[in-house]
Amino acid sequence: MPHSTYLPEKMGSATVTPSGSFEAGAFEEFTVTYTAGYFGIDDTGSIKIVHRFASDMGRPQFTEPGAANYTTVEASNGAILHVEYDMKRNIRPWDKTLYIKVVRGFLREGDEIIVRFGDRRQGSPGIRLQTFCEDTFEFRVLVDAIATYNYVELPVQPTIAIIPGPPVLFKPILPTLRRVGEAFRLGIKGEDRWGNPSNLCDQTFTLRANIVVDGLPGTAALKKGQFAEIIDGLSVQAEGDLVIELLDGESAVAATSNPCRIAANAELLPYWGDLHGQSEETIGTNSARDFYEFARDKALLDVCVHQGNDFQITSEFWAWLNELSAEFTVDDEFIVFPGWEWSGNTGLGGDRNILHLHEGRPIHRSSHALVDDLSDTDTDCNSANDLFDALKGEDCVVFAHIGGRYADIKIAHDGGLERAVEVHSAWGTFEWLIEDAFEQGYRVGIVSNSDGHKGRPGASHPGATKFGSYGGLTCILAPKFTRAGLMEALKKRHHYGTTGSRVVLDVRAAFDNPAELFSDDPRLGDVTSEAVSQAMMGDILRSADAEVTLRIDVRGASPVERIDIRNGLETVEVFRPYAEAELGRRIRVLWEGSEYRGRGRETIWDGHAELEGNTFAALTPINHYNPDKRFEQTGPKRVDWVALSTGGFGGFDAILEDPHAGILKIDTALVQEEIAIKDIGRDELIFANGGIDRRIRIFRLPDENPHRAVTVERRIRLDGDKDNGLYVRITHEDGHFVWSSPIYIFR
């Protein structure tokens, strides 16, 4: 217990009204009443009402009675109170704090402090609830009755339940690749406006496939109380890219699935995972059991790993996580790895994530900062180099992560253990991490996960906090749907990452003469090799060829905007699947980047755009996940927005009445520009402002881009003096990125 445990039964009680269940993201009014206990509260004593770090409930404000989140506090006996709200005034994970101090007078037993969150008496719409679901959302009350600043938690805390709202969109989910005749399933779910899977669906859809699917029924029904409908036993008897559409009662397309490639032969199959998230036992939401159930049953993942901050993982919780990973792992159905996040200070190496093949392995914490049992501090590894030393001989993989702390792989790295870097999570997009690896000559793959704190692994909508991005997914290309098969794939870097989309991707290098493919990085020693004519993402090879052919094959649910073809730090080509002649009235305005590498990376892009000599015929936001943030057309010539970026990008598409007339004026705190519409073409205009790729980009697109499937072949010249790390980043029009793991070729 991080707080005092002195006589909690004499510290009073607290209630919340109304109680019950409330829709995520709704505006409500709640009255929390603290009743003083035997000690009362002495002059200068205080209470705190705290919420979890993960919560994105509206921030209480005390000055605008008619505005959202207006909060009032009063004492029943007239004592004068001082009230503050601070995002970091209590021990994590209960950081967010309403602090109430008695500054004149005192409370006796039975006196009350009444807190009205979202006080509606003067016109406020209420306080906006957190945007994600939680069975026991606490208004946790801590009491400093004796004015010592040593708080006691009340033994019974007031709670409400936060539940999903009605569905606003539907998602049919297929596997990404299956062999001809091989069985697979279709999952269908609805999500509310905040990305929560909804059990309030009551729809029947007609199912339409673009190729013949054996076992596919004519309709599928989602009923109230049901989070997902699973249709098993499907198969396809011919090669092709399968897409299934949901048609509503008017025969209109309500949703389209991700593509599923049907191949005659495939040695490896893709499995989708979120390898990084947390539950309420550390800094997340809902229990670790809820975490895995959500991943399996609501996100419809194949693989999942709980990665709690190590300095919050007690020995008992580590044992429990191992029990859960064993319980939830079922070969060919759902795989869990025992895992933990090494959360060392940035100067000592920064965050790393560890995935073990087996249960029962020791945890080597970065510290015992929030673990009171100090009996095993001798097992701690305070630096990343100490961690790698301790993990020698373990059957595990490590990847570097950027959260609040960022991984500094320049001061600590082990090629035998650290097989990947995480370039995207709910924290943002961090391509500079793979660039750090190239600069150091490391051979690592690319993963993308959520580090979700909101209890939604695999479907990690950012909600309304400063988490600026949808959580990512990693597609693992494995020989078997088992822990051992997936671990083999992770060690070989046979995977790719996305910002949350499920995309078919195959990237291969073809050689003019046989190349030497190594079983592992030859720098590690004790490796074997074989002669091959081609290689896949993640492979390490030696070749005498001066050039290789790089083949990129991508198929997504959204059209391809561009493909960046890269050799390490060099962008060899930016490929766009449409020609200059196809461009129309559509322009795209994007803001992106981050302030710097650390916690304060958020970049504010609040601003507006105006047209002079033209008008907006239509506007569509991109990566606008937070409905609280304004994106509004305020006239035929103007659009206003409130936005931020944390390494990734947001923005909008504009359809212009006239494709070439007038001036576009952009006005943000960081970029102010006037651009002639006629000068906006296929190649982007870039307006930079420091930071890490902090800029606005503007370019033109076809009015309709049909290119959902793209195949590109390019001859790539190999540099003889270094590793050639050949990889691609694909940008889809819906705002999603996809990264292949590099193919490493040295001469």
Q: Which amino acid is at 302?
A: D
Q: What is the pLDDT of residue 386?
A: 98
> What residue ranges define each of the domains in the chain, with the CATH number in brackets?
8-163 (2.60.40.1510), 169-263 (2.60.40.3450), 269-500 (3.20.20.140), 503-577+710-747 (2.60.40.10), 582-702 (no CATH)
CA dist., res. 365 & res. 379, Å (int): 7
154, 151, 106: which is closest to 3 by C-alpha? 151
Crossing angle between the packed helical segments 315-328 and 288-297, to the nearest 10 degrees: 20
Helix (H, G, I), strand (E, B) or coil at 300: coil
Q: What is the pLDDT of residue 1?
A: 54
Longest CA pairwise span in the chain (Å): 88
Q: What is the pLDDT of residue 289?
A: 98
First and final C-alpha spacing in the chain: 58
Helix (H, G, I), strand (E, B) or coil at 288: helix
Model-level pTM? 0.96
The residue ranges of DSSP E strands in 154-243, in sequence order, are 159-163, 169-173, 177-179, 184-191, 203-209, 219-222, 228-234, 240-242
And the tokens for 652? 């909008």
454, 136, 528: which is closest to 298 by C-alpha? 454
φ/ψ (deg, to 5) at 490: -65, -40
pLDDT tens for 131-169 read 999 999 999 999 999 999 999 999 999 999 999 999 999
Count of CB atoms situated within 10 Å of the CB of 161: 13
DSSP symbol at 273: E
Count of CB atoms situated within 10 Å of the CB of 689: 14
Q: What is the pLDDT of residue 468?
A: 74
Count of CB atoms situated within 10 Å of the CB of 84: 12
And the tokens for 566? 């890269």
Contacts of 690 (CB under 8 A, 6+ apart): none
φ/ψ (deg, to 5) at 219: -140, 165
Is residue 14 within 8 A of residue 114, CB to CB? The reply is: no
And the tokens for 281? 């036992």
Q: Which amino acid is at 448?
A: S
And the tokens for 476? 């693992």
CA distances in angstroms from 292 to 171, 325, 359, 455, listed in the order given: 20, 9, 16, 9
The C-alpha angle with vertex 280 and arms to 275 and 284, in degrees rounded to 5, equals 50
CA distances in angstroms from 93 to 53, 54, 136, 281, 315, listed in the order given: 5, 8, 15, 9, 18
What parts of the chain have a pLDDT lower than 50?
none
Is residue 573 within 8 A of residue 550, CB to CB? The reply is: no
CA dist., res. 71 & res. 645, Å (int): 29
CA dist., res. 240 & res. 174, Å (int): 14
CA dist., res. 218 & res. 216, Å (int): 7
